[in-house]
């Protein structure tokens, strides 16, 4: 019986008697392994895992946002994440500096230089600073990284100059709180300098004709040579009219003035003299204005060539 069991054991472990067992545990030909279903499943899962990992890393924001300008703008947006009452709690002198920073950021034709959408955002940021609205300021600054990607080199240059100027205003505020203002100034100036180094198109390098504006209260009129000549004609006509009125008043002799008493006569003579002074002065000023506008129109015309 012992001999039979031993022979049975030898029969079970003999390689030639169990090909399937041999294939599982003692592979002699490695080319048979890829045909094995388990191996193919493991290999496919491994390739899918590597492909998914690569795709996930390429779609991550850190992979896409490698532009240093966008990264700095995002850092600047993080600097403006402050307590809701931070700006409103600033001392009076720092509030004045904050208003100056708002003015430097939005001064001039901001929409023409930075584009319509970015220009509106900059104007709203400056209003938030003037109103000491910390939350609105943070929300608006957080939009800058999304807008700067579509800007041209000229727009980036204009934005960079404004950020540098406003950043220096923050820098002049000195140390306050935990140094938040200085951190804003540092990142803002660094971001502005990087944006200012953006390539500029050849059209922007050419000197632009300066636009001159005449401002009187809410009225704003662009000064051109044509409008200067029209103003000269109007001033000349007004001068002639003033001269004729003054001559008409002077042609009335004082002896023809008759009133009930001496006080009324004295008042009439004084009024006549005052009117003569006013209209003669108006005639002289109109003449100077007409000559000056003609000369100014010629200057504007020569500059436009």
Rounded to an integer, what distance in angstroms lies between the CA atom of residue 33 and that of residue 19? 15
**Which carries the bigger pLDDT value, residue 13 or residue 67?**
67
Residue 127, pLDDT > 90, answer yes
The string of pLDDT tens digits covering residues 153-170 is 788 888 889 999 999 999
Contacts of 57 (CB under 8 A, 6+ apart): 63
Q: Locate the domains of the chain by residue range.
A: 68-199, 215-304
* CA 88/CA 90 separation, integer angstroms: 6
Average pLDDT over residues 108-120: 87
Q: What pLDDT is recorded for position 18? A: 40
Q: Who has greater pLDDT, 216 or 201? A: 216
Q: Mean pLDDT over all residues of the chain?
A: 75
Question: Going by DSSP bridges, is the β-strand pair 219-222/213-216 parallel, antiparallel, or unpaired?
Answer: antiparallel
Please state the rounded mean pLDDT for residues 169-184. 89
32-70 tens-digit pLDDT: 444 444 444 444 454 444 344 434 444 444 434 467 878
Beta strands in 40-154 (DSSP E): none
Residues 6+ apart with CB under 8 A from 304: 209, 225
Q: Are 166 and 157 in contact (CB under 8 A)?
A: no
- In three-state secondary structure terms, 197 is coil
In this prediction, residues 118-146 reach a mean pLDDT of 92
Q: What confidence tier does 29 reach under pLDDT thresholds 50, 70, 90?
A: very low
Q: Calculate mean pLDDT across residues 210-236.
A: 75
Mean pLDDT of 63-90: 82
Are 72 and 191 spatial neighbours (Cβ–Cβ below 8 Å)? yes
pTM, two decimal places: 0.48
Helix orientation angle between 68-79 and 180-196, rounded to the nearest 10 degrees = 160
pLDDT for the residue numbered 24: 43
């Amino acid at each position: 019986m012992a001999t039979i069991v031993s022979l049975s054991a030898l029969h079970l472990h003999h390689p030639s008697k169990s090909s399937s067992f041999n294939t599982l545990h003692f592979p002699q030909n490695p080319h048979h392994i890829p045909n094995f279903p388990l191996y193919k499943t493991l290999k496919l899962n491994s390739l899918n895992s590597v492909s998914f990992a690569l795709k996930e890393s390429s779609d991550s924001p850190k992979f896409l946002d490698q532009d240093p300008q966008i990264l700095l703008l995002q850092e600047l947006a993080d600097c403006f994440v402050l307590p809701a009452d931070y700006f409103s709690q600033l001392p009076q002198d720092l509030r004045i500096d904050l208003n100056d920073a708002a003015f430097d950021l939005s001064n001039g034709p901001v929409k023409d230089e930075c584009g319509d959408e970015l220009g509106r955002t900059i104007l709203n940021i400056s209003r938030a600073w003037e109103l000491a609205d910390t939350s609105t300021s943070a929300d608006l600054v957080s939009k800058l990284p999304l807008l700067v990607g579509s800007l041209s080199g000229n727009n980036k240059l204009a934005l960079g100059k404004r950020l540098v100027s406003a950043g220096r205003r923050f820098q002049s505020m000195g140390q306050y709180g935990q140094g938040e203002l200085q951190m804003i100034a540092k990142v803002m100036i660094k971001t502005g300098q990087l944006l200012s180094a953006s390539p500029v198109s050849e059209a922007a390098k050419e000197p632009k004709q300066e636009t001159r504006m005449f401002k009187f209260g809410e009225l704003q009129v662009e000064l051109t040579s044509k409008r200067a000549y029209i103003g000269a004609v109007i001033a000349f006509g007004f001068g002639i009219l003033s001269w004729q009125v003054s001559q008409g008043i002077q042609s009335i002799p004082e002896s023809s003035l008759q009133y009930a008493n001496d006080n009324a006569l004295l008042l009439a003579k004084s009024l006549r003299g005052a009117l003569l002074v006013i209209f003669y002065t108006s005639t002289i000023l109109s003449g100077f204005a007409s000559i000056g506008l003609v000369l100014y129109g010629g200057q504007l015309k020569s500059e436009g060539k």
